[in-house]
């Protein structure tokens, strides 16, 4: 405060603020508007100074900043119920009405699953906020002490260790207009995963060393309505505003965590439950299941079986399979490693025929869903092998000549793996490189290896795509607004991801309302509901 403490403000500036306050504006907003008018940089020190000036001149009486209110102080001392094993965590913006139907559904769901509700106290002050408009003011009858009175029983501004590996950072304020709310939080909680309050829905796994628990960062979504400026950043924030919460289930020395996204009416799905208008219904269907990269012959059988047990509860209309083949028998990555080549020769894993037989038998043993197989880099290994390998020096000469002949005749325009699967099975559809597959507004054809203009794919590129999308390839779950990435169904350590790794065992489901949800598997479990 030192630099601004003795700063002299002109009578014109003071009168500007005074006139706005007398018309019904708050001192804080009036001061912000004055700063805009007189080309000053607003900060809280200026805000305090003008609140004092207005008090001294008798314009206001005992004005208190939001952090000094009894409501906020009570929220700072909020303690979670340590007897609970389940929690629903959302975020509420100050000076903003709650979405009543969504909160009602949260309350009904919490009662049904015996969960505690925590709502993180979000603070946001902006002189041009829509909360100053008459439209919003007409809805503010329940707003009390800066937060809607409906959220006050759950309001939280404290830090909670829900589990030895999970922290809720309700004491961390992140601007609701922040486009990357999870940035700069990597080291804030040490080894523990963390939840932060924010109206966007983001998620990322951080790299950890082998033997350490996975670390995930995620945001909550909001239980209040959109309330932003009409600026570019305000409109972007409004577009990416998510009505939602995070559900946490404690399960001994592990925990399960999911992001719940509601529709505009406030209704939502979570696994076997549909919550609508304050009522709980059983849900036995999903539109799509997108499974983590499988890499057959290198898959973790427990992760695969758990994933199929999960989707078997919902009878999905579509099942998307990324990197269904591993193609380790002919992998170019090992071509220059004579010791690995020797090991494969000794154990027979250099046989392409064995690997392809394994893939076909795997499909024969699985339920006949409508399988969608996008073009993917590991599936394409065999086509790369045909292009680059000297068949005379390879141990898979017979298959090389067979597949080369098929390729030369133009019978495999989508690649050899696609040719084999579509020839062998009538319930598998393989996609070409540029072939679209869209379900309920989600583009599902992108594996994630190919980016824009010939570059490698990245989460930021897919986030900026003009359509919502779900990809694979990275082996780590990601959520950036309208972009989601699944994890892997292999083991989390495969020998080539040495050192730090952010891999996760994660699938995505799309519910009938078009909302997508990550489901993470830990030690063969993904929920305590079953």
**For 124-166, how does the pLDDT look when each residue is reduced to its tens digit (9 = 90+)?**
865 444 444 433 444 444 444 489 999 999 999 999 999 999 9
Nearest to residue 472, comparing CAs of 289, 302, 333? Answer: 289
Contact criterion met (CB below 8 Å) for 258 and 519: yes
The residues of the chain scoring below 70 in pLDDT are: 1-6, 61-65, 125-145
Residue keyed to tokens 């063969």? 524
Q: Which residues contact 249 (CB under 8 A, 6 or more apart)?
A: 85, 86, 255, 256, 257, 527, 528, 529
Cross-strand pairs, 143: 148
Q: How far is CA 92 from CA 57, 70, 96, 265, 385, in A?
A: 34, 17, 8, 17, 55
Rounded Cα–Cα distance for residues 26 and 20 (Å)? 8
CA 463 to the chain's CA centroid: 11
Q: Which residues contact 344 (CB under 8 A, 6 or more apart)?
A: 328, 329, 334, 350
Same fold, 68-282 and 288-520: yes
Q: What's the 3-state SS for 461-488?
A: HHHCCCCEEEECCCCCCEEECCEEECCE
CATH number of 68-282: 3.60.21
Res 342: pLDDT: 73
Residue range 417-470, pLDDT digits in tens: 999 999 999 999 999 999 999 999 999 999 999 988 888 899 999 999 989 999
Query: Can you give the residue ranges of every domain in the chain?
Result: 2-63, 68-282, 288-520
Res 496: pLDDT: 78
Rounded Cα–Cα distance for residues 25 and 5 (Å)? 24
Sign of CA dihedral 166, 171, 172, 175: positive
Res 1: pLDDT: 34
288-520 CATH, one of 3.60.21, 3.30.1380, 1.10.10, 2.60.40: 3.60.21
Res 498: pLDDT: 83
Res 125: pLDDT: 61
DSSP 382-441: HHHHHHH--GGGSTTHHHHHHHHHHHHTT--TT-HHHHHHHHH-SSEEEPPTT---EETT
Q: What's the 3-state SS for 329-375?
A: HHCHHHCCCHHHHHHHHHHCCCCHHHHHHHHHHHHHCCCCCCEEECC
Residue range 357-415, pLDDT digits in tens: 999 999 999 999 999 999 999 999 999 999 998 888 888 999 999 999 999 999 999 99
> Could you tell me the pTM of the whole model?
0.85
């Amino acid at each position: 405060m030192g630099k601004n403490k003795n700063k002299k403000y002109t009578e014109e500036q003071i009168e500007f603020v005074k006139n706005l306050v007398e018309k019904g504006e708050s001192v804080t907003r009036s001061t912000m508007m004055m700063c805009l008018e007189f080309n000053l940089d607003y900060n809280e020190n200026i805000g305090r100074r003008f609140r004092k000036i207005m008090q001294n001149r008798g314009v206001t009486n005992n004005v208190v900043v939001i952090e000094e209110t009894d409501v906020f102080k009570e929220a700072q001392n909020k303690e979670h119920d340590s007897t609970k094993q389940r929690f629903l965590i959302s975020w509420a913006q100050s000076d903003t009405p709650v979405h009543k139907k969504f909160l009602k559904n949260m309350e009904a769901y919490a009662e049904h699953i015996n969960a505690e509700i925590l709502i993180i106290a979000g603070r946001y002050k902006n002189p041009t906020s829509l909360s100053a408009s008459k439209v919003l003011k007409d809805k503010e009858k329940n707003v009390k002490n800066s937060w809607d009175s409906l959220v006050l029983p759950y309001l939280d501004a404290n830090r909670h260790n829900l589990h030895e590996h999970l922290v809720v950072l309700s004491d961390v304020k992140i601007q609701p207009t922040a486009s990357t709310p999870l940035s700069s939080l990597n080291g804030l909680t040490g080894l523990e995963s963390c939840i932060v309050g924010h109206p966007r829905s983001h998620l990322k796994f951080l790299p950890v060393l082998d033997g350490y628990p996975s670390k995930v960062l995620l945001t909550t979504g909001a239980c209040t309505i959109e309330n932003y400026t009409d600026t570019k950043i305000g409109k972007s924030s409004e577009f990416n505003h998510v009505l939602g919460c995070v559900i946490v289930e404690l399960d001994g020395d592990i925990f399960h965590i999911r992001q719940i996204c509601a529709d505009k009416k406030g209704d939502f799905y979570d696994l076997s439950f549909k919550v609508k208008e304050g009522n709980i219904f059983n849900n036995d269907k999903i539109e799509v299941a997108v499974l983590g990269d499988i890499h057959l012959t290198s898959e973790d059988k427990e992760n695969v079986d758990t994933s199929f047990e999960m989707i078997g509860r919902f009878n999905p209309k579509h099942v998307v399979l990324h990197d269904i083949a591993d193609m380790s028998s002919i992998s170019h990555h090992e071509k220059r490693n004579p010791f690995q080549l020797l090991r494969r020769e000794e154990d027979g894993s250099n046989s392409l025929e064995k690997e392809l037989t394994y893939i076909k038998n795997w499909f024969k043993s699985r339920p006949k869903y409508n399988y969608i197989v996008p073009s993917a880099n590991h599936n394409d290994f065999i086509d790369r092998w045909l292009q680059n390998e000297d068949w005379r020096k390879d141990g898979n000469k017979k298959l090389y000549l067979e597949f080369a002949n098929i390729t030369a005749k133009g019978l495999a325009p989508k690649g050899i793996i696609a040719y084999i699967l579509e020839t062998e099975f009538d319930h598998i559809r393989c996609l070409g490189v540029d072939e679209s597959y869209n379900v309920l507004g989600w583009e599902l054809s992108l594996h994630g290896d190919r980016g824009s203009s010939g570059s490698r794919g990245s989460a930021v590129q897919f986030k900026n795509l003009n359509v919502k999308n779900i990809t694979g390839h990275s082996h780590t779950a990601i959520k950036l607004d309208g972009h989601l990435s699944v994890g892997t169904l292999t083991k989390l350590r495969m020998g080539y991801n040495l050192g730090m790794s952010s891999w996760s065992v994660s699938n995505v489901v799309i519910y009938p309302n078009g909302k997508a949800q990550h489901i993470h598997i830990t030690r063969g479990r993904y929920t305590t509901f079953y």
